[in-house]
Amino acid sequence: MIHLKSLLIGALGLVLVGGSARALEIDPQVAPEINFAGRALATTNYADKDLGAAGDDSGADVDVSDSSLVFGFSKYLFSDVDYGFATFGLSIPEDDSDLDDDMFLHQLQIGIGGPNSELMIGRSRLPANTLIQFPTVRDDDLLDFTHVANASSNREAEEDTIYGGQLRGTLYWPGTSFFSFAALTARVETDAANLGDTSRKSSTNLNGLSLGLAYDVPEAIKFDSGLRYAGVAIDLQQIDELSGTGEDELPALLGGLSYNLNDNPERAWAVDLQGIYNFGVSTPDLANSVTRARAKSWSLAAALRFARRPYLQTSWQAALTVAVKDHSDFDDAMLFAIAPSFAWRLGSGVEALAQYRYVANDDVLGVGLGLESSHEVLFGLSFAFDATFNETVGQRNAILNLEHDMLDNGPILGGH
């Protein structure tokens, strides 16, 4: 790990010394393809929490977190198969996040790609702390179960777990539906020796390594029964010891799959599964996010989805996600969640949403967290769009590329 980091820093140093601080000439008349995507997500939440010894707490709020805007730019290089791209994205953190900001720069990346590979540097979703996007309304709804937590940050901020700096290489091999990746990652760090200090110490320090391999066919193309996604990954975090005296390594293994249960595109059943095994390091308790992230654990999450698509256009989707996690080195430290959700398509990109979420913590964990269980109900609206201007670059996940060997590749931009 140290060697990798040293090599990388040396290489970047050479580039910076030898290169110019300004861009080389730009052809202003050669406009890039522009992808403009966004999602406004607003819900009314009602939560009823059993805080254990502290009693009960309940309340309602209006939540606009996870709303986002993403701008993507791409153009071909000196051939029509090699491309460059850049992405800028802003999202809204949760109101009680330790980020204390109204906006968070969750995407800022630059990359180049070719027929069989892609190299990206910048900030984005970490490549191997989750493999499956479960059908919950927000990213963090089951975060404890679905993501490898950031073991270097003691902030209460989902962004520290989901996003991070990275230098990522992706190899599309042995076929267009397969890819493998390797990434050096930079998770946010707070002071490990002083957990009470939740101020950000670094968001750029390379402190992790990720490797992964997956078979992946976009759901928009693969609708018939059978496997649509299968992937495995290793996520390795390099962490400062809580004693402040040294460093340790925290590996985690992930496996996931998505399987279409039938081949009726108007009534589609699908199941998503993911398991995470965190090898853990010695940790004294489960009282805060860093110690929980460092504790040995396993988690399983599964979702069953049904989409009603009359006229081949999704009208509504109902999903049930269940998840369980156990901190193996602690007794009574299991947690369980169930989250049925419903999305009703009011129009293109406009949806009415509803979700119920129940989370229960075992005694030890509940005491540490100060939360025995919680019920949350939310209703809301989502307005999402994904527009492309000056369309000149292909799409790697297009059917012509995936099934007809017509090289028409480009970055996978858009999304939210």
Partner 1 sequence: MTDKSVDPLTERREMPDTPRDPSRRQWLRGAAAAAGGALVAGAASRAAAQDYNAGQGSMMFMEGHAHAMAGRVTEPGGAPADDEVAYKEFDLTFDLTEHELIPQVRFPVFSFNGQVPGPVFRVRENDWVKVRATNNTEEMHTIHWHGLDVPYTMDGVPMVTQDPIHPGETFVYRFQARPAGTRFYHCHWSTPLHMMSALHGAFIVEADDDPIRAAFPYERDYVLMLEAFDVEFTRNHINAVLAGMKRVNSLMAAGELSPTTHGFFKTYGDFTAAIDAGWRPPYSRGNAEGVQPDPKFFAINGKCYPATEKIGIRKGEYIRVRLINGGFISHHMHLHGHQFWQVAEDGNPLPQSLRLNTISIHPGKTADIVIYGDNPGFWTFHDHDVRHVMNNGVYPGGMLTMLAYEDMVDPPYVPSIAINE
Does residue number 224 form part of the binding site for partner 1 (CB under 8 A)?
Answer: yes
Does residue number 48 form part of the binding site for partner 1 (CB under 8 A)?
Answer: no
Distance (Å, whole) CA 12 – CA 15 = 5
Q: Please, what's the b/e burial string for 145-169 (b: 16 or more CB within 10 A of its CB; e: otherwise)?
A: bbbbbbbbbbbebbbbbbbbbbbbe
* Of 332 and 391, CB closest to partner 1: 391
Pick the closest to residue 384 from 341, 345, 330, 413 (CA basis). 345
Quote the least distance from Cβ 103 to partner 1, whole Å.
Answer: 30
Does residue number 403 form part of the binding site for partner 1 (CB under 8 A)?
Answer: yes
* Of 163 and 223, CB closest to partner 1: 223
* Of 8 and 387, CB closest to partner 1: 387
Contact present, 376 and 386 (Cβ < 8 Å) = no
Residue of 208, 280, 394, 411 interacting with partner 1 (CB under 8 A):
394
State the virtual CA torsion across 210, 136, 353, 351 in degrees, nearest 10. Answer: 40
Q: Where are the beta strands (DSSP E) in 241-348?
A: 247-260, 267-278, 297-308, 316-327, 334-347
Which tokens hold the place of 23? 């861009």
Does residue number 3 form part of the binding site for partner 1 (CB under 8 A)?
Answer: no
Q: Please, what's the b/e burial string for 313-347 (b: 16 or more CB within 10 A of its CB; e: otherwise)?
A: ebeebbbebbbbbbbeebeebbbbbebbbbbebee
Does residue number 286 form part of the binding site for partner 1 (CB under 8 A)?
Answer: no
Quote the least distance from Cβ 176 to partner 1, whole Å.
Answer: 14
Does residue number 12 form part of the binding site for partner 1 (CB under 8 A)?
Answer: no
Binding mask 288-327 for partner 1 (x = CB under 8 A): ----------------------xxx---------------
Q: Which of residues 265-284 bind partner 1 (CB under 8 A)?
A: 265-266
Which tokens hold the place of 97? 């996040």
Pick the closest to residue 300 from 285, 321, 319, 282 (CA basis). 321
Q: Please, what's the b/e burial string for 293-305 (b: 16 or more CB within 10 A of its CB; e: otherwise)?
A: bbbbbbbebbbbb
Does residue number 110 form part of the binding site for partner 1 (CB under 8 A)?
Answer: no
Quote the least distance from Cβ 221 to partner 1, whole Å.
Answer: 6
Quote the least distance from Cβ 35 to partner 1, whole Å.
Answer: 14
Does residue number 77 form part of the binding site for partner 1 (CB under 8 A)?
Answer: no
Q: Which window, 269-277, 281-289, 352-360, 398-406, contacts partner 1 (CB under 8 A)?
A: 398-406
What is the contact surface with partner 1 in residues (CB under 8 A)? 79-80, 220-221, 223-224, 263-266, 310-312, 347-348, 391-392, 394-395, 398-400, 403-404, 406, 408
